[in-house]
Amino acid sequence: MTIDRRKLLQGTAALAAGSALIGPFGARKALAQAAAATFQPEEGASLRLLRWVPFVAGEEEAWNTNTAAFTEATGVQVQIDQESWEDVRPKAAVAANVGSGPDMVMSWFDDPFQYPDKLVDVTDLCTTLGDQHGGWYDGLRAYAEQDGKFIAVPLCAIGNAICYRDSHMKAAGFEEFPTDTAGFLELCKAMQAAGTPAGFPHGKAVGDGNNYAHWLLWSHGGMTVNEAGEVAINSPETLAAINYAIELYKTFIPGTESWLDINNNRAFLAGEVSLTANGVSLYYAAINDPALAEIAEDIRTTTMPIGPVGESVELHQTSTISIFNHCQFPNAAKAYIEFMYQADQMNAWLEGASAYCCQALKGFADNPVWTSNPIHAPYAKASESLRENGYAGPLGAASAGTMADYVLVDMFAEAVSGQRTPEEAIANAERRIARYYR
């Protein structure tokens, strides 16, 4: 596969389009959008948004540009605070329960289900946006809706895909990337033998750790709970998943049991590993650094291999935007979100993110970012294909608590590191999951 570097600039070109919003013509257009909006900000309103630290500079720049356009059009100042991925969850929980702090938060997965009574009902907003833009993807909608009421606005799926060095794979004796878990294990063994090993996080990584752990479990047919919400982790399928993870772990570089979301990126870009799973941000970190040009040219991406279950089953990281009840200007918050989801702003944000963020609304699926570069292809269907946390049970406080407690991540880490036998690790996970599913 040959990658045309000129295509890589297309994502940043979108930023220029986004920036145009606050030029003379763009300002008039933004004013017209704001005037036609469903929600009108309260007099004297101002807002604070807590968001996760961006991994792609263009995504942040586009979001900020759109926010500036909203302020230009409405006079509502929006302060954006950033926290590390791991810290967003506890900071948001404190704000919800104390009743002060940011007005809105970009949350992970099913975090809003941990404090639904602390959030503004945004059903009217989500219904409007869904009607305007082709409807919500089911998986992302599930993360935001409880008992027929939206407690958050679906934002995006951050797709997860295999990232590997093409030349290293071929040097290990593989012309094509394996599509099943058995072949994938053989590839990792061969790459380790060739001195170009793989590495996946077994630490408490919000995105990469959870993505990997859920893929391991689900690809072998395991589940945390059944459809009735009864704990079902203790199964032959879970044991098979752990035994597979142990064999895979033997091919990794040392230390992956402590990796957080940033560590696999760093190891890959430092040349310490040649295969991992990540968002497309890994690729853009390489392409934007002239010193990493050789690695950037060699990177390829593909979907996670299919296991014994016989179908692709991936978690993919998701994010929603919630408005806290303590927000003094809920109409302004809804107006802000409505503005950010209008076509000009949302398309500019998706392109600025360069395939890092997959749209929550089906009407944006034809954004040119998905076909601008073959590297983007494995990330294009993340919103459509994701499986929700807590499978096969319903989403709720129990599924959110289990993920926030890293139960699955810990189960695999305990087993691969030898801290517990596979059976002990499963029993420990079963006990911990049962605390939440009472």
pLDDT of residue 11: 37
Indicate whether 290 and 364 sit together in one domain.
no
In this structure, are residues 379 and 394 in contact, taking their beta carbons and an 8 Å threshold? Answer: no
Over 90: is that where the pLDDT of 280 sits? yes
User: Residue 1 is encoded by which pair of tokens?
Assistant: 């596969």
Indicate whether 303 and 320 sit together in one domain.
no
Over 90: is that where the pLDDT of 15 sits? no
Give domain status of residue 18, yes or no. Answer: no
Indicate whether 170 and 258 sit together in one domain.
yes
Give domain status of residue 242, yes or no. Answer: yes
Indicate whether 134 and 225 sit together in one domain.
no
pLDDT tens profile 410-423 = 999 999 999 999 99
181-188 LR contacts (CB < 8 Å, sep 24+): 181/219, 181/220, 181/244, 181/305, 181/306, 181/307, 181/308, 183/305, 184/248, 184/305, 185/244, 185/247, 185/248, 185/251, 187/275, 188/248, 188/251, 188/252, 188/275
In this structure, are residues 167 and 298 in contact, taking their beta carbons and an 8 Å threshold? Answer: yes
Question: Sorting pLDDT into bands at 50, 70 and 90, what band is 14?
Answer: very low
HSE (side-chain half, CA atoms, 13 Å) at 285: 16
Give domain status of residue 382, yes or no. Answer: no
Sheet strands (E) in 175-324: 275-278, 299-302, 317-323
Mean pLDDT, rounded, for 46-53: 98
Indicate whether 214 and 343 sit together in one domain.
no
Q: Nearest to residue 399, comparing CAs of 110, 89, 144, 193?
A: 110
Give domain status of residue 288, yes or no. Answer: yes
pLDDT of residue 10: 36
pLDDT tens profile 73-92 = 999 999 999 999 989 999 99
Q: Nearest to residue 327, comparing CAs of 119, 132, 188?
A: 119
Q: What number of other Cβ atoms are within 10 A of residue 225's Cβ?
A: 22
Question: Sorting pLDDT into bands at 50, 70 and 90, what band is 23?
Answer: low
Distance between CA atoms of residues 212 and 29, nearest Å: 43
Prior bond of 392 cis (ω within 30°)? yes
Indicate whether 305 and 322 sit together in one domain.
no
Indicate whether 128 and 206 sit together in one domain.
no
Distance between CA atoms of residues 345 and 353, nearest Å: 12
In this structure, are residues 143 and 388 in contact, taking their beta carbons and an 8 Å threshold? Answer: yes
For residue 99, give the CATH number of its domain: 3.40.190.10
Supply φ then ψ for residue 47, to 5 degrees.
-135, 155
Give domain status of residue 205, yes or no. Answer: yes
Residue recorded with tokens 């957080």: 260
What percent of the chain lies above the pLDDT cut of 70? Answer: 92
Distance between CA atoms of residues 424 and 411, nearest Å: 9
The verdict on pTM exceeding 0.75 is yes
pLDDT of residue 303: 97
Over 80: is that where the pLDDT of 28 sits? no
Distance between CA atoms of residues 92 and 222, nearest Å: 31
pLDDT of residue 27: 62
Give domain status of residue 9, yes or no. Answer: no
Distance between CA atoms of residues 160 and 358, nearest Å: 11
Q: Give the H or E element holding residue 164.
A: strand 161-165
pLDDT tens profile 223-270 = 999 999 999 999 999 999 999 999 999 999 999 999 999 999 999 999
Distance between CA atoms of residues 293 and 306, nearest Å: 31
pLDDT tens profile 347-404 = 999 999 999 999 999 999 999 999 999 999 999 999 999 999 999 999 999 999 999 9
Over 90: is that where the pLDDT of 31 sits? no
- Determine the longest span between alpha carbons in the chain, in angstroms: 66
HSE (side-chain half, CA atoms, 13 Å) at 52: 25
pLDDT of residue 242: 98
Structurally, how many domains does the chain consist of?
A: 2
Mean pLDDT, rounded, for 178-193: 98
Over 80: is that where the pLDDT of 217 sits? yes
Indicate whether 126 and 165 sit together in one domain.
no
pLDDT of residue 37: 82
Task: Output the average pLDDT for the chain.
Answer: 93
What percent of the chain lies above the pLDDT cut of 90? Answer: 91
Give domain status of residue 171, yes or no. Answer: yes
Give domain status of residue 35, yes or no. Answer: no
Indicate whether 297 and 167 sit together in one domain.
yes
Indicate whether 288 and 420 sit together in one domain.
yes
In this structure, are residues 282 and 288 in contact, taking their beta carbons and an 8 Å threshold? Answer: no
The residue type of 246 is I
Indicate whether 152 and 58 sit together in one domain.
yes
Indicate whether 97 and 219 sit together in one domain.
no
- Say how far residue 397 (Cα) sits from the centre of its chain: 19
Domain range enclosing 116: 42-158+316-376
Distance between CA atoms of residues 8 and 25, nearest Å: 27
pLDDT tens profile 290-299 = 999 999 999 9
Alpha-helix runs per DSSP H in 20-142: 24-35, 57-74, 85-98, 123-132, 138-142
pLDDT tens profile 295-353 = 999 999 999 999 999 999 999 999 999 999 999 999 999 999 999 999 999 999 999 99
Q: How many H-runs (helices) and E-runs (strands) does the chain carry?
A: 19, 11
